[in-house]
Chain A
């Protein structure tokens, strides 16, 4: 082929592109006068109201998030059985976030603009929440996020029904302090929650006469912990604070035990190990270790007995319930209560009605704080038994008011 003709082709092509681009832009800007801007309007015209369930059903997070989805479905089923919300049955639309953060944003947008859901429930990792946050704010749509997280956030379009740090991490530290633990070793997965939590732990330790002897991170999914457990062994901390997430825990605990460390001498406080994870890691490795949550399957309330029985009846006798599952379950009932108080599915009216909404939850009474859209909940420290069940050894006595920015703690002044 001659040079001449290729050049001519290229020029023709370029000219065509430019012309078409201009044509396309022109066409579009002409349309804008009639185009409506993207504000979320839930479709509530029929006999049902749609809600979105957005959880990872595939990928690394699926093991945890599928249980949350199941729990959400149970709540929807129970609400529908008792007449629905404002006389409308709830129609859940489930989407897979695929453990991929941009996918969460994509599916959130789909639920809002294609399915026209009244509210969306889901998300687990901080990264998925951060990715969804602008989508919900831009569309003025509601997200209920059910997992404990690192705090320092209060989006006007998100309700946080899991614990923020002053309802989980700080009570855990208070407990360790009360037990006379002076030196801490921090180990965590390398992502936002552990890094932020550890910063808060360091600030707390400094203000409370405790010392952090070391701070170690491993990438999510990493299974090589021999160097870290050796360091724990040689530095002899009074306690280890564990913010590892997911698969890494299995390897960490095996190697922790294999170098001869034990709960009696070097207890580990974990904030991401619940009943489901304890089962997967193996109770023989975890026996006697501590965890911090707001709910356990064994939590002694009448509501919890009903919740556990209903969950097992629907999904099987061997299925445990856990804190994030409970927080997800509660979130649907909180939304229902807000909608009924507002007398409308309208997002702004629902938000306005949120403050002071209470629900007699499996974890005990919870109350929505309208100022930051978190909920007041009771902190509970648990001990893992030989069979993997967790029993409470301490609780805060009453619900702790949420304080996502730690404004009421003097030692946290320099953190954000």
Chain B
């Protein structure tokens, strides 16, 4: 086998090469070529990419159409935002919005733990995972699946957004937590620190991709696909499909939480509109456009859709939504497995043509 063959065949070597290439683009090429403004935007897109990696695992591989990743994204985001908000508030004072709305005179009890970075930072990932684990056990044990699961996950996103909006005095209501100026003591207005945030986000995305790949390649990954396609057979083989599903769902929630925390650092604000039903569905659209069952498809799809949204709305402020809608229709109609399936679809079409000629 020649060296080139080994590099282009599926396998660990190609994966390492691809990973290195991705790291090179994200960590060297992008910061060197993009302006600070575009780099900040890319950081935001990469956050959506992280959520998408998790959805690819849960939905693409596990068949769980989760329309409510905003919940976990939101928990991670609010946990991080609460910590950063407390960290920049002078000791003994309340965060700005609490003073403004004046509904509370002292910091609510449930805010207290987030004062410590050692609690808040792990919580951005662990809290979503805990919620997802409990919910997953409750739902998958009862063999709730398909549209019923999708509706349930979506209702949860709506409920969480409404809850936050209603508690204006302690959550910031619709305005959310805004004006986050520092990131563990570093001024977020400084371009160097913003680039650092970008690099952290990019490394998180690469890390999540590595985790997802290892899971997909493992025996667990095979089992997850088996549960998606034939849960009863898996049950007869002696595995519990509920546990298999819960695990993927929990990992996806952890990634969404991490993405939320990173989103706060990149965008410097979080509000209920960013974790509601609409963004939750937007995450899934990105995954569908990219190709849900592949490793890179979801992340590239989410990043691509977010980028296109910005580019189209800058070019055509009046009519960009038509472009976006048109793209979704085209992809769903002609590439049901997403853009990741484009090479295969084109390949098939090319291979079919001679056959048609001879017949």
Please give the residue numbers on chain A whose beta carbons come within 8 Å of chain B beta carbons, in ascending order: 1, 5-6, 8-10, 12-14, 16-17, 20-21, 23-25, 27-29, 32, 35, 37-38, 57-58, 94-96, 98, 100-103, 105-107, 109-110, 113-114, 125-127, 130-131, 133-134, 138, 152, 190-192, 195-196, 199, 217, 219-220, 414-416
Pick the residue among B37, B101, B180, B206 that contacts A113 (CB under 8 A): B37
Residues of A within 8 A of B273 (CB): 100-102, 127
CA distance A16 to B321 in the complex (A): 40
B94 at interface, CB cutoff 8 A: no
A17:B178 contact, CB within 8 angstroms: no
Residues of B within 8 A of A28 (CB): 31, 192, 195-196
B27:A95 contact, CB within 8 angstroms: no
Residues of B within 8 A of A199 (CB): 101-102
Bitwise interface map of B from 14 to 33 toward A, beta carbon under 8 Å scored 1, else 0: 01100110011001100110
B217:A6 contact, CB within 8 angstroms: yes
B174:A127 contact, CB within 8 angstroms: yes
B199 at interface, CB cutoff 8 A: yes
Bitwise interface map of B from 173 to 192 toward A, beta carbon under 8 Å scored 1, else 0: 11110111100000001111
Residues of B within 8 A of A57 (CB): 317-318
B191:A130 contact, CB within 8 angstroms: no
B214:A10 contact, CB within 8 angstroms: yes
A109:B40 contact, CB within 8 angstroms: yes
B210 at interface, CB cutoff 8 A: yes
B359 at interface, CB cutoff 8 A: no
A110:B174 contact, CB within 8 angstroms: no
Q: Smallest CB-CB separation from B40: which chain A residue?
A: A109
A20:B27 contact, CB within 8 angstroms: yes
Residues of A within 8 A of B192 (CB): 28-29, 32, 35
CA distance A294 to B218 in the complex (A): 67
B206:A127 contact, CB within 8 angstroms: no
B196:A25 contact, CB within 8 angstroms: yes
Q: Min CB distance, B116 to chain A, in Å?
A: 25
Residues of B within 8 A of A105 (CB): 267-269
Residues of A within 8 A of B147 (CB): none
Centre residue among A29, A101, A113 by max chain B CB count within 10 A = A101
B354 at interface, CB cutoff 8 A: no
Query: Which of B129-137, B161-169, B246-254 is near enough to bind chain A?
Result: B161-169
Residues of B within 8 A of A35 (CB): 191-192
B40:A192 contact, CB within 8 angstroms: no
Pick the residue among B101, B181, B190 that contacts A134 (CB under 8 A): B181
Bitwise interface map of B from 99 to 114 toward A, beta carbon under 8 Å scored 1, else 0: 1111000000000000
B217:A17 contact, CB within 8 angstroms: no
B19:A101 contact, CB within 8 angstroms: no
Pick the residue among B15, B178, B314 that contacts A131 (CB under 8 A): B178
Q: Min CB distance, B253 to chain A, in Å?
A: 22
Residues of A within 8 A of B173 (CB): 191-192, 195
A415:B214 contact, CB within 8 angstroms: no
A152:B12 contact, CB within 8 angstroms: no
Q: Min CB distance, A106 to chain B, in Å?
A: 7
CA distance A14 to B211 in the complex (A): 11
Residues of A within 8 A of B203 (CB): 17, 21
CA distance A106 to B176 in the complex (A): 16
B207 at interface, CB cutoff 8 A: yes
CA distance A38 to B193 in the complex (A): 12
B280 at interface, CB cutoff 8 A: no
B341 at interface, CB cutoff 8 A: no
B320:A96 contact, CB within 8 angstroms: yes
Q: Smallest CB-CB separation from B161: which chain A residue?
A: A219
Residue pairs across A and B with Cβ atoms less than 8 A apart, 12 shown, are: A17-B23, A20-B23, A20-B27, A23-B27, A29-B192, A32-B191, A57-B318, A96-B318, A101-B273, A134-B268, A199-B101, A220-B174
B8 at interface, CB cutoff 8 A: no
CA distance A134 to B181 in the complex (A): 8
Q: Min CB distance, B194 to chain A, in Å?
A: 9
B243 at interface, CB cutoff 8 A: no
A195:B168 contact, CB within 8 angstroms: yes
Centre residue among B44, B192, B313 by max chain A CB count within 10 A = B313
CA distance A133 to B100 in the complex (A): 15
CA distance A165 to B359 in the complex (A): 79
